[in-house]
Amino acid sequence: MLLIFPAIDIKDGKCVRLVQGEPGTEKIYSLDPVKMAILWRGENAKTLHIVDLDGAFEGAMHNLDVIARIVNAVDIPIQIGGGIRTYEHVRQAFGVGVFRVVLGTVAIEDPNLVKELVKEYGARRIAVGIDAKNGIVMTQGWKHDTGEEAVAFALKMKELGVCRIVYTDILRDGMLTGPNFEAIKEMAVKTQLRVTASGGVSGFKDLIQMQELEKFGVDSVIVGKALYENKFPCQALWRMNEKELEDLGPTRRI
């Protein structure tokens, strides 16, 4: 069964979505990311993917306090990325209770650190995020062209003990135009790694098509804008019912 990660992107303490990761394109969906996490949990999310956008752009985590409050508010595993570029950043993230960290820029700049972290924390808790534009890895908030081909880089990470790639097609991200299924399949088939796909999901039909890639190792998908824009069956009913509720879910802790 394909695991769905609702995405919560945090910028200036708010829950936002960007188009192709571009600053200035953000749309604010909630002033309180914690309440957003509670809402997704109330709608039966089994896990969440959180991105510290300020951290991604500036190179150091900025919203760890918000992430800590999310961890304490829901009873599901939390995966985070964005600005995690040192051993201390990883230690702090695990210290507030997150389950998995996704390393991006640092995986290119300091692969030895990735190896050390996998050895210390285990491959289940350390993933590498590969954000690709036309098949080339981009870093530093998607601004720096590394010249590194995505699949080749994933194979290098595999040699270091990495077992999971979070693969994002930047040109599809936030566009609601459908994922790059061909590139996602290529990543899974050529690397034989577990792949979490991200970018472009526009609705239910995309998830059905993504499920066809499970046999190749694509076992999960991150969904952002499509959820926030209510593109899935039942969401209209959920929203109507939620207007009548003071408590957004049975697992609420705050």
User: How does DSSP classify residue 158?
Assistant: H
Distance (Å, rounded) from C-alpha 188 to C-alpha 219? 10
Neighbours of 86 (CB within 10 A): 15
> What is the DSSP pairing of strand 164-169 with strand 194-198?
parallel
Q: Tell me the pTM.
A: 0.90
Indicate which residues carry an active-site annotation.
9, 131
pLDDT tens-digit series, residues 199-220: 999 998 999 999 999 999 999 9
What are the extents of the domains in the chain?
3-242
Under the banding of pLDDT at 50, 70 and 90, the label for residue 247 is: low
Range 53-70 average pLDDT: 93
- Looking at CATH, the fold of the domain delimited by 3-242 is given as TIM Barrel (3.20.20)
Answer yes or no: is pLDDT of 94 > 60. Answer: yes
Range 126-132 average pLDDT: 97
Half-sphere exposure of 56 (CA within 13 A, CB side): 26
